[in-house]
Amino acid sequence: MSGVLGTQAYKRYFGNPLSYRQGAITASMPAGSLAGSLLSSFIADRFSRKAAIQFSCLLWILGSIIQCASVNIGMLCAGRVIAGLCVGIASSIVPVYQSEIAPKEIRGRVVSLQQWAITIGILIQYFIQYGAAQGIGGGPNDPNQPTAAFRIPWGIQIVPAVILFAGLYFFPYSPRWLASKDRWEEAIQVLAHLHGNGDVNHPKVLAQYQEIEEALRFEREQAVSSFKALVEPRMFKRVILGMSIQMWSQLCGMNIMMYYIVYIMEGANIASPLTTASIQYVINVVLTLPAILYLDRFGRRPALVGGAFLMMTWLFISGALQQYYGQPNTAETRNSTNSDITWIVLDNRPVSSAIVACSYLFVATFATTWGPTSWTYPAEIYPSRIRAKAVSLATASNWFWNMVLAFGVPPLLWNISYKMYYIFAAFNGASFIHMLLTAPETKGYTLEEMDEVFDSGLPAWRRYKKASRLEDLEREIAAGNMKINVPHGDAQPGVGGTQVEEPSASEPKTA
SS (H, E, C) 192-222: HHHHCCCCCCCHHHHHHHHHHHHHHHHHHHH
Q: Which residues of 230-254 are buried (b: 16+ CB within 10 A; e: fewer)?
A: beeeebeebbebbbbbbbbbbbbbb
pTM of the model: 0.80
Instruction: Report how far residue 365's alpha carbon sits from residue 254's, in angstroms, rounded to the nearest whole number.
Output: 10
Which regions in the chain score pLDDT beneath 70?
223-226, 257-263, 271-274, 336-338, 340, 467-468, 488-511
pLDDT > 90 in the chain, percent:
43
Query: Which domains occur in the chain, in start order?
Result: 2-175+228-448 (1.20.1250.20)
The pLDDT value given to residue 420: 87
The pLDDT value given to residue 227: 77
The pLDDT value given to residue 259: 60
The pLDDT value given to residue 502: 38
Amino acid at 244: S
The pLDDT value given to residue 331: 80
Instruction: Report how far residue 305's alpha carbon sits from residue 369's, in angstroms, rounded to the nearest whole number.
Output: 9
The pLDDT value given to residue 273: 64
The pLDDT value given to residue 507: 45
The pLDDT value given to residue 337: 67
Q: Give the DSSP per-residue string, 346-390.
A: -S-HHHHHHHHHHHHHHHHHHHHTHHHHHHHHHHHSS-HHHHHHH
